[in-house]
Amino acid sequence: MSAEKFQVDQQESEESIQLHIRGELDLAAALTFRHALEEVVHRADKALILDVGQLRYIDSTGIGIVVSALKIRDELKAPFSVRNIPASIRKLFDLTGISGFLNEGIEGRA
């Protein structure tokens, strides 16, 4: 079984920082994801956007990191959103209750 390598690509504009995550976000990739978020999560001057359109899998460790980022951004009163959520990931977010915490921060595919 061949797992798709996890990657985080960052794009920054005047208004936002976008992290495009792809592959499989599991325990093995958690440190990479956490490090990428730590570099930008406290930057309240810009919206933080997670684009998960190419994310194939996320486990509880990855969900925990997303929840931690959400809490930090909430304390800073800084915008945070998750975009392009594949159906399988959205279902997992719904089942684990994370969707309720992200509220309007979640945008799905049309």
Burial of 73 (0-12, 13-18, 19+ CB in 10 A): buried
More confident residue, 107 or 19: 19
109 has pLDDT over 80: no
pTM across the whole model: 0.86
pLDDT tens string 45-87? 999 999 999 999 999 999 999 999 999 999 999 999 999 999 9
Q: Is residue 5 within a helix (H) or strand (E), and if so which, with residue range?
A: none
Helix, strand or coil, per DSSP, at residue 79: coil
Q: How far is it, in rounded angstroms, from Cα 73 to Cα 79?
A: 7
